[in-house]
DNA sequence: GGAATAGTGTCTCTAAGACAGTATCTA
DNA sequence: TAGATACTGTCTTAGAGACACTATTCC
C-alpha cells in the first residue's frame, strides 16, 4: 500500500436539526415557518432549524427544543423525532444530515405574524428550500396516522376545551367527519379527560358544553386505543 | 466582544449508521449481531454499523445498505429508517449521531453462524454496547406495530410459502395467536399474494397446502389494510 | 315557544371470532 | 380406514355508524 496521511476518524458531516411546528388555524393545519438569517437560502421562509451545538446540546432533541425556543419563543409540550434526511446534495455546503422533529401547539401560543415568523396552511405552502417540503409532508402523514388511535390532537387545543371542539380538531387533522357517538365512545375509552367541575362554555343560543381538561398523567404523554377512531 | 477565532461552520459530529437486522429462527425473532473490529468496544458483539462515507454514500440509507453488505453479505429487500440516536456521551469519541435502520430477511439468507456474525433471540440478548439495546427494542416495537396492518412479515419468508406458514410468521412477530379465518380474510383483503399454480407443499400425513408468492408489485413495497389484524 | 347545539339511548350493520364441516394427503 | 392438517361455510358477537330523542341555553 502506498503510505498516505492517516484519514480523520470520520468524514466531516454537517449536522443540523429542523422542526415542523404545526398548529390549527381556521380549521386547517398550518406550519410555522421562519425566515432564514444566513446563507444558503438567506431570507427564504423555511422550517426553523439550525446546527447542533455540541457544547450545549445534550441530544438532537435538545437542539430541536433550543431552536424552537430561539426562533419562535416556544416551549412545546410535545416534540417528537420524525426522521432524518441526509445526503451529499441536500445542502450546498456539503454532505449533511438533518434530524427532523415535529411539534404541535395550540394557535394561542403561535407568535404573532411578522416578517420573520409566519403560519402557512400545509396544503398551500410556498416553495420551501432544501427538502423541507418532504419533511412537512411526512410530518402531516405521521400526525394523521397517530391521530387515528391516540390523543395526539389534544396538543392542538388549549388547557380547557369542549368535546364538540375537540371533535372538530380531530376532524381537521384527519380530514374527514367523525361520527359523534363513536367519537365520544372513543374519548371515553381513552380515559384521558376529566370534566372541569361547574365549567361550561356558553356563548351561543343553545345548551352550553361541558369544559374538559387532560388528566395530569396525560399532559406530556399520549393515550392510545387499540382500535382506531373509524372515521 | 472579545475578538475570537471564527468558529468552524459546524461543530464536529461523528456520523454513523447502525442496522437492526431481524430474522425468524425457531419461531422467534432473532437479531443478527457482528463482532466489532475496532475500538471502542472492540471484540464485542454489536449491531452491524459504521461511519458514513461521504465520498461513496449517497445517503444514510445507502450507507446502511453498504454496511449490511460488508458485514453480513446481505442485500436486503427491505431496509427502512427506524430513528436517530444522538448525544455527547453515547460514544466515547465525542458528540455522535447514529442513524438506525432495520431490515427483515428470511432465515435462509442469514450467513452461517461464526465467531464474527451471530444470530441471537431478541428476548435474550447479550448486553449490547452503546445504546444498541434501545435500538433493538424500538425496532421490535416498530415491526410489531407495522405487522398489525401490513404485509411486512412476508419479508421474513422466502419466495414461496403457504398460508399456514405465513400465519405462524405473523404469530411469531405479534406474539399472539391469530384466528385462522380472520387471518385468511385479511390476506385476501391485502390482495398481495398469488397462488403458484399447481405448487403444493406436501410432506406430512395430511392434505398439502397451496404455495403462494408475493405479487410482483409488492416485492419491495408493503400492502396495507385500514383495520389491522385483530389478534 | 322557537332555534340552536349538547349530550344520550338504542337500533342497525359490518366485520372479527368460534366452530364445525368437508377436502386431501400418508401410513 | 384412521389420523392429520388444509381449507371453507356459517353462526355468534363486538363494536362502529345512524338516527332520533331529551337537555339547556338565548332570543
Q: pLDDT per residue over A41-71, tens digit each?
A: 999 999 999 999 999 999 999 999 999 999 9
Q: Do B63 and A13 form a contact (C-beta atoms < 8 A)?
A: no
CB contact set of A165 (below 8 Å; sequence gap of 6+): A157, A201, A209
The pTM is what?
A: 0.93
For the cut 80, the answer to whether the pLDDT of residue B89 exceeds it is yes
Catalogue the E-assigned strands of A90-227: 96-104, 117-121, 161-162, 193-201, 209-214
Distance (Å) from the C-alpha of residue B147 to the closest C-alpha of chain A? 14
Cα distances (Å, whole numbers) of residue B47 to A65, A90, A97, B31, B79: 29, 28, 21, 8, 14
pLDDT in tens, B109-150: 999 999 999 999 999 999 999 999 999 999 999 999 999 999
Whether A195 sits with its Cβ under 7 A from any strand C atom: the answer reads: no
Whether A227 sits with its Cβ under 7 A from any strand D atom: the answer reads: yes
A66-88 average pLDDT score: 96
Q: How far is residue B20's CA from residue B102's CA, in Å, rounded to a whole number?
A: 4
Q: Do A127 and A45 form a contact (C-beta atoms < 8 A)?
A: no
Q: How far is residue A213's CA from residue A200's CA, in Å, rounded to a whole number?
A: 12
Q: Which residues in chain B have their CB less than 8 angstroms from residue A9's CB?
A: 14, 93
Whether A180 sits with its Cβ under 7 A from any strand C atom: the answer reads: yes
Q: Do A160 and A193 form a contact (C-beta atoms < 8 A)?
A: no
- Tell me, what's the pLDDT at A202? 81
Q: How far is residue A186's CA from residue B18's CA, in Å, rounded to a whole number?
A: 39
- Tell me, what's the pLDDT at B10? 58
**Summary mean pLDDT of chain B:** 93
Q: Do B97 and A60 form a contact (C-beta atoms < 8 A)?
A: yes
Per cent of chain A over pLDDT 70 is 96
Whether A181 sits with its Cβ under 7 A from any strand D atom: the answer reads: yes
CB contact set of B214 (below 8 Å; sequence gap of 6+): B151, B154, B192, B193, B194
Q: Which of B145, B151, B227 is nearest to B187 (CA)?
A: B151
Distance (Å) from the C-alpha of residue B165 to the closest C-alpha of chain A? 26
Alpha-helix residue ranges (DSSP H) falling in B110-162: 132-147
Q: Do B24 and B107 form a contact (C-beta atoms < 8 A)?
A: yes
**Summary mean pLDDT of chain A:** 93
Please name the residue that has the C-alpha cell 455540541.
Answer: A54
Q: Which residues in chain A have their CB less than 8 angstroms from residue B93's CB?
A: 9
Which band of pLDDT confidence, cut at 50, 70 and 90, is reported for residue A115? very high
Q: Do A99 and B97 touch (CB under 8 A)?
A: yes
Q: Do B58 and A88 touch (CB under 8 A)?
A: yes
Distance (Å) from the C-alpha of residue B59 to the closest C-alpha of chain A? 4
Q: Do A61 and A69 form a contact (C-beta atoms < 8 A)?
A: no
Amino acid at each position: 500500500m502506498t503510505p498516505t496521511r492517516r484519514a480523520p476518524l470520520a468524514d466531516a458531516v454537517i449536522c443540523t436539526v429542523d422542526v415542523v411546528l404545526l398548529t390549527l388555524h381556521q380549521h386547517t393545519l398550518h406550519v410555522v415557518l421562519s425566515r432564514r438569517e444566513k446563507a444558503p437560502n438567506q431570507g427564504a421562509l423555511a422550517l426553523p432549524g439550525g446546527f447542533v451545538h455540541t457544547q450545549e446540546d445534550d441530544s438532537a432533541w435538545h437542539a430541536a427544543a433550543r431552536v424552537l425556543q430561539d426562533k419562535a419563543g416556544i416551549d412545546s409540550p410535545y416534540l417528537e423525532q420524525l426522521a432524518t434526511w441526509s445526503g451529499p446534495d441536500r445542502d450546498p455546503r456539503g454532505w449533511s444530515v438533518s434530524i427532523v422533529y415535529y411539534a404541535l401547539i395550540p394557535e394561542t401560543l403561535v407568535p404573532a405574524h411578522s416578517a420573520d415568523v409566519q403560519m402557512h396552511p400545509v396544503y398551500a405552502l410556498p416553495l420551501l428550500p432544501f427538502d423541507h417540503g418532504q419533511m412537512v409532508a411526512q410530518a402531516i402523514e405521521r400526525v394523521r396516522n397517530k391521530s387515528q388511535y391516540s390523543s395526539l390532537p389534544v396538543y392542538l387545543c388549549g388547557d380547557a376545551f369542549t368535546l364538540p371542539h375537540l371533535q372538530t380538531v380531530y376532524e381537521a387533522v384527519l380530514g374527514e367527519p367523525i361520527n359523534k357517538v363513536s367519537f365520544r365512545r372513543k374519548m371515553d375509552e381513552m380515559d384521558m379527560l376529566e370534566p372541569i367541575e361547574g365549567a361550561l362554555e356558553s356563548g351561543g343560543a343553545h345548551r352550553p358544553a361541558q369544559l374538559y381538561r387532560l388528566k395530569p398523567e396525560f399532559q406530556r404523554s399520549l393515550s392510545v386505543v387499540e382500535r382506531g377512531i373509524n372515521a
